[in-house]
Chains A and B, each alone.
Chain A
Amino acid sequence: SYELTQAPSVSVSPGQTARITCSGDALAKQNVYWYQQKPGQAPVMVMYQDTERPSGIPERFSGSSSGTVVTLTISGVQAEDEADYYCQSVDTSGTFYVFGTGTRVTV
């Protein structure tokens, strides 16, 4: 098994840029997926395969990857972006899934 580490919280003013990082030794070889979870709701994926944005997700969400660190960036943060964000990866055989520790974004 392995771990994915995220900062517990990020605070940002409306219109600013929020950067949420996910680090783990395995990330140099594995894709990362990002989920947004608002209180009382199920998670929703906002980024897949490190940098791909699903349809319906605003363009202000973007992803990047460098070595063992993957970053979710929210440019021009809006109040509705306040939520918990989790990264997730899977081993190359698809037998073990891991979530990051989660980052609470406060706007």
Chain B
Amino acid sequence: EVRLLDSGGGLVQPGGSLRLSCGASGFAITSYAMAWVRQAPGKGLEWVSTISGSGTKTYYGDSVKGRFTMSRDYSGNTVYLQMDSLRAEDAALYYCAKLASVPIFGVLIPSYFDYWGQGTRVTVSS
């Protein structure tokens, strides 16, 4: 059974840092792209970042580019989101998600989020 366990959220001051973790079980993260998606209180879903199955490529949304870093630990089957220079607008519930691929023009592209963690809450406040 596929499971994702998000953790690491908490209260941090503006300008501070936080590292989120997502422990995966039931599959190997070496075979799938993984992502973080966030949801501010009362707001919609926002894609934050993706790491490729090989771990060699990372992609970020415009609102976090240059401040957040996604990485993975193969031995622990865990992905991380290092969040630096946090702002009030980064406050949200952060979900870890597994990506599923579909063929686009003959190439398998990670396209949709088929499994989600339960989310970990990040609060940014002084």
Chain A interface (Cβ < 8 Å from any Cβ of B): 1, 31, 33, 35, 37, 42-45, 48-49, 84, 86, 88, 90, 92-102
Chain B residues whose C-beta falls within 8 Å of the C-beta of A88 in the assembled complex? 45, 112-113
- Set B37, B62, B104, B116: member contacting A92, Cβ < 8 A: B104
B114 & A86 in contact (Cβ 8 Å cutoff): no
Size class of the B contact interface (CB-based, 8 Å): 20 to 34
> Could you say which of A48, A84, A98, A102 contacts B112, with CB atoms under 8 Å apart?
A48
Report yes or no: A90 in contact with B109, Cβ–Cβ below 8 A.
yes
CB neighbours (8 Å) of B102 from chain A are: 31, 48-49
Contact between A99 and B47 (Cβ–Cβ < 8 Å)?
Answer: yes
Q: Chain A contacts of B74 at CB under 8 A?
A: none
Contact yes or no, A96 B59, CB < 8 A? yes
Residue in B37, B112, B114 whose Cβ sees the most chain A Cβ within 10 Å:
B112
CB <8 Å contact, B118 and A33: no
Q: Are A94 and B111 in contact (CB under 8 A)?
A: yes
